[in-house]
Structure 1
Amino acid sequence: MSSLPSYEWLEGKARESRFLNDPHVTRLVELARDKSLFEKSPSYLSNLRRDLLRSSLKFFARNSEFYEKLLANLGIDPDAAELEDLAKLAVPSDLLRGDGIKRFLIPSRDEGGFTFRSSGTSGKKPVRIYRSPLELLLMTVANANLFEYVYGGELKQGEGLALFLAAEELKNHLNFVAFVDLALQYKKIRLLYGMDLVPESGDTPLWKRLVPNTKRIAEFIKSREEPKLFFSAPAGVHLVSQQFAGLGLLKKALYKLALGAPPIDLGRGGVIVTGGGSKGLQVPEYYVIVEEARRVFKAEDKDTGGEVPVPFMDVLGMTETLTALLDNYGVMHKIPHPLQEVFLLDPKTYKPMEQYNKDGLLAIYDPLAVSWLEVFIPGDIVRQVPSDRYYGREFIYVRRLTEEEGWSLQRACGGTLEELMIRGGEIQ
C-alpha cells in the first residue's frame, strides 16, 4: 500500500483480521481502548504487563516456528517470562534496516497493511517496519488516549483545528506524521498541512522539495476555532518564533492587520506538540525553543479560559514504536502508554537497570504489535526518575549513542522533520 489509509478504512479492515478470535488479541483490542488504565497503580500495571508478555510470547510461539525456536534457544519459558527475558530478546534497530524486519514477521500476519521507514539520512538503508490494519487501529486509539492523558483533558469530537508544519506526503513515510493524521481523524478534528512538496526532479531529497503553504498557515493563524493544535518538529517552532519575533514595526503592523498576529493565539486549550526532540541538528536547546515560542504564541486554560504560558508537549517515537512516549513541559517528563514496557539497560552489560537518576540504554517492548515481537533497542540514552503517576516512573531523554560507543547514529523521524524544516525556507 503506497498511501496511508483513512481511519474509517482501518476500522473496517481491522474487523477482517484473522486474529480477532484469538483470546490474546481480543484482550489487546479491549485494553487499547481502556482509558481506566491511566488510573491504575504502578504495581497493577506492572503485573498486567508481565501477564501480557507471557501471553504474547505464547502467541508468537504458536504462530511462528522462528519464535518457537528462538525462545527455546534462549531458554525462555513463556509461562515464567520476566523483564530479564525481554532484555535477551531486544533487537538493536540496526538489524531492522532494509529488509531486516522480514525475519521477525510471523508468516500468518494480516496482509494489506502499511510500511513505515526511517529517513536513511545516516547514509545506510532505512529501518522499515510493517504495520497491519489492526495494528494501525490499535496504534491510533492507544496513542490518542495517551495524548489526552498528557494533554490533561479530552479532545472533544469535531472541535478545534490542527496545523502540522509538514507536507501531507510525509504521513506515508514517517510514523509521527501518520499517528497525528490518524489520531485527528479518530477525533474528527480538521488537520491542515503547512508545507508542500514541489514536484520531484531526479533523486532530489525530500527536504530540498519542501516549501511552506502560506495559505493554510494563514488559515490556521486567523481561525477562531478552539482548541488550536500546532504540530511540528522543534526546528519548525523555532523557525516560526524567529520570524515573528524579528519583524520590524511596519511589517509587524501589516501581519497584525492581515493575520491578527503576532501573537499567534491558539485559543482555549491550545497546545504546541513537537515530534522527536532535537537530535543533533543546529537548533537551540528545547527550553530555549519554548521560551522563544511563548513570546510569540499565546493560549488560554482549557477549563478557566484565563491566559497561560503556551503548553508544550513532546513526542518521543521511532519508526519501530507502535506507541510513543509523551511529555508535558514543566508538568511531567516523558511517560509511556500503560501497556508499553519501557526499561533501561546498562550500556556495558546490557543487563536491566532498576536505578533511578542514572543514565541507561533505552529498550522498548510493545505488546500491541502482533505482526512481530516488538522489543528493540533504538540507541538512545535516557534517565528514569520516580513518579507518582500511573507508570511509577518517567523518562528524561539524554542523547543518542555515538558511533564510538558502538552504535551507528540513526536519526529518528523527529530529526528528519527538523532537517526538512531547516532547509524548507521561510514561512512568509
Structure 2
Amino acid sequence: MIQLENRHTAANLCKEIEGVLSDFTITKKQIYCVTSDNGRNMVKAVDALNKEDVASEDPDDSNTEKVMSEVNIFDIKSIRCAAHTLQLAVKDFITDTQLSEVLGKARALSKILRCPTNRFLLSSQSLLNAEVDTPTRWSSTFRMLEKLCKLQSFCDIHIPKQNMSQEEWEEVHLLVSVLQPVHVATKKLQAEQLYFSDFYKLWLEMKLEIQAMSSSASKTLVACLENREKGLLQNEVMVSALYLDPRLRRILLPNPIQLMMARNHLKRLMRQIFDVSKKKSNAPAPTQVVTQSSDCSIFSQEEGTCTLLSNYLNTFEVGSCDEEEDDEELNSALNQIVDYNPKPVNISVNLMDYWEDKKYVYPHMYKLATLCQSVPATQVSVERAFSALKLVLTDLRTNLSAENLQKILFVKLNQ
C-alpha cells in the first residue's frame, strides 16, 4: 500500500504500479491478471500496463506524419471484483421504479422511528432501533428493511398515521425474502478469498434459490443477475477458470464459442509460462566492455546499432508459434489443453484437492489450474488493508512518514 499524492488518473496509477513492480523486481510478463473494481481509471490503468512507448510525435514538426506512440506487447488481463459486480446487479434491481416507491416509504418510516420519542419507546420495550440506509450500499438497505419488518407491530400501535398500508408491508417482507440469499452470498464473499470457480458456484446457488421463489420481484432480480452474469462469462479469465473446474465445466459444453475462448486463452497462457521460464534459465551473461581502436570504429558503431535494434525487436516477443513448434514439451502441453475432458465430479469436492490428486496425470493442466484459480475473485484483501491502515495510522501517530507507514503495513499485511 502506497500513498498517492497525485490525481487518481489511469496514467498516474500505471506509473505507481510500475514503480512497485520495479521495487520487487517483477516484470510485466510475470503478471497474469489484475482484479479491480469497475472504476474506469482502474480499467484504463491495466490497459496502459500492456503498452510500452516505442516512438513519439515531435510537437514542433507539423508537417511530419503521425507515428504510432505505443503498441501492446504484454498480455495482462483485467477482471472485475465479484463482490462489486454482485452489488451492481442488486443496485439495478432496487432502482426499479415500482420498488423505489416502496423503498422511499420504508426509508421515511425508518426516519420517523429514529426520532427521540420513538427511540425511547423502542428501548423501553427492548426493541432494536431502526436504521436508515446508505444509498450507495445495498446491504444497508437490506438491514433497514429487515429491522423494519421486526417493528411492524410497533408501528401499527404507536404511529398508525405515518404507517404504511398492509400491501406495502407485504412488499417489504417480500423484498427481504428475495434479498436474503444475496445478503448471505455477500457475507461469504467478504469472509473468504474464493477461487473464481467457487465464486461462480456460489453465484449459481444464489440465483437458483431466488429463482425458486417464483415471484415478480424474484424474476426481476434474476434478470438483473443474468444481465451482469453475461459480462462475467465474456471474460476469458473467468471462462478459463470454469474450463479447469471439473465440477462446473459442463456449463461451457453447450457453448462452443466459450470453449474455444477458454482453450485459446490457456494456450497463450501456457506459451507465456514457457517464455518466462526460458528467460529465467537463459539469463544473459554480463556485458564485457572492450576499448576499440580507431581502426575498428566503424565495426563498433555497426555492432552498437545492431544491439539497439535487437533490444528494440525483443520488446515485440509475444510467443511466436513458428519458433516453438519444435518444443516437444510445449506441444505436449498444448495438446493436453485441447484433449482435456475430465469426468464430472461432485459439486462438494474441494477443487484444489482434486488438482493435487491429478498433479501427475495432467501436469501442465495442474500448472494452469493453480495459476488461473489463484486470481482473487474479490478485493476483500484490499478492504482489509484499509482497515489495517486505520489501526496503524491513529491520531497518536500522525507524524509517521509515508515510507515508514508503507513498511509497517507491508509487515502487518504479510504476517
The two structures have a TM-score, normalised by structure 1, of: 0.28
More strand by share: 1
Q: Is the radius of gyration larger for structure 1 or structure 2?
A: 2
TM-score (norm 2): 0.29
More helix as a share of residues: 2
